[in-house]
Amino acid sequence: MTRGAGATVVLDIGKTNVKLALIDAAGATLAERRMPNAIVQDGLYPHHDVERIWNWMLDTMRGFSLQARVTAIVPVTHGATAALVDGDGLVLPVLDYEFELPKSHDAAYRALRPAYSSSYSPLLPMGLNLGRQLAWQAQAFPEQFARARHILMYPQYWAWRLCGTAASEVTSLGCHTDLWLPASQQYSALVHRMGWDALFPALQPAWARLGSLRPELAAQTGLPADCHVVCGIHDSNASLLRHLAAAPDAPNATKTPALSAAAATAALPARTVLSTGTWVIAAAIGMPLDGLCEEADMLANSNALGQAVACMRFMGGREFAELAASAPVVCSQDDLQGLIERGTMALPCFSTAGGPFAGHTGQVAGVAPETAQERYALATLYCVLMSDYCLSALGANTGQIVVEGSFTGNPYFAPLLAALRREQEVSCSDDTSGTTSGGWMLHHWGRTPRSSNAVASPMRLAGLDGYRQRWHDSLAAAWQVKHGTRAAE
């Protein structure tokens, strides 16, 4: 087999699946392998099966080494996850953020966490605020916590295992953690109150080369001894990379650019990226932060350049799977039209993990879908309406909308969204995993992979606007019953 030069391995750990991609120097995918991201339910608490991922990754990279000369490994992972390590490894299992932390801890943590006005990190259920996870672990397991030498964000945990260098990075720190202030780019009061300052390693840019692959791992995998390990990034921010207006031109830079919130907003053109996967995250590039609302699960993430980005999200991939069932079958346009005419609609939410309607129990109003195709149609309409709702709530009503990730494979998602967002151009990335191309970009900092966005033609369905209005009216009525106030229009 002919061996190429300068290939990249991207380790992409999503909440649902773990993927390894082998990408050549031009940005083309040479190979891809994946497996389910299973959670271990026994032990101290539900946790990630990091050893299973580790062994699978090393075995898979051994096969990749026969296909191309790999010169970089880039970890990309979901957020709300950290590893506590000493010099040898984990001192506690890597907690699953969907673990329902003890309610007895709630009041104490509320008193510790920073104000939303400074962190732009909403109070979230389960372990979705990483600071809450860490505070509980410190209280529940003080001996193990005291042994920790580093708190590593999840991408940097994998980088550390691969090369031995500990680092921190802003995209994972700034992802609704309560640990970081995205607008001012500094650690929050929670970190100082808990005495964790020394546990976070020095900040490095996502594209920084932390070191070469450990020699024993190079021997085990067949990868070159000079294969370097890149710091890594939070997955939805990997999808955002190609859409940033400008990037530093020094791939080995060791300091993240410090930008004020005003400068960050001015530096980026107005556009919105919908990163879709287990979560659907609307990232409104260039939007100010002053319109964000904690009760609606709006937040500010930090992008790879250290800029605050206004975001809103819901667990769209998980909810789609709940509505479409375990074996989804792509629907037809007639299936979509039939549901609209019958008035069958799904009302949020079908996940317990946050979103603008957290705490509401999902329900199907009207005649229930009867076939797998109709269930797919209902799931599609639901995710389109929720995405449209989030865009409007964010105020992302101008500029282009780019759909990245798994929903680019849904033939109706972008056309339906385009029909609802008539004043905006909606396009689909040709990369079904923006995380993969973002990982490649970190290896080749300053370059953008060859790609094109396909502009979606608005789908013509009779009664779609009325269907959306009835959906909004139903939401407002449900919100009023639960809260005594009406939902945001």
pLDDT reported for residue 433: 64
pLDDT, tens digit, for every residue of 293-320?
Answer: 998 889 999 999 999 999 999 999 999 9
pLDDT reported for residue 117: 94
What does pLDDT average to over the chain?
90
Mean of pLDDT values over 422-430: 90
Q: CA-to-CA distance for 422 and 94, rounded, in angstroms?
A: 44
192: Cβ contacts below 8 Å, ≥ 6 apart:
none
pLDDT reported for residue 484: 52
Mean of pLDDT values over 334-348: 97
pLDDT reported for residue 266: 43
Q: At what angle do helices 372-394 and 413-420 cross, to 10 degrees?
A: 40
Mean of pLDDT values over 45-63: 98
> Is the pLDDT at 4 greater than 70, yes or no?
no
Which residue is associated with the tokens 């079904």? 432
Q: CA-to-CA distance for 245 and 471, rounded, in angstroms?
A: 36
Q: CA-to-CA distance for 169 and 224, rounded, in angstroms?
A: 26
- Widest Cα–Cα separation across the chain: 67
pLDDT, tens digit, for every residue of 391-423?
Answer: 999 999 999 999 988 899 999 999 999 999 999
Q: CA-to-CA distance for 186 and 11, rounded, in angstroms?
A: 28
Domains of the chain plus CATH, in order, are: 4-231 (3.30.420.40), 246-483 (3.30.420.40)
What is the pTM (predicted TM-score) of this model? 0.86
pLDDT reported for residue 268: 52
> Is the pLDDT at 481 greater than 90, yes or no?
no
> Is the pLDDT at 31 greater than 80, yes or no?
yes
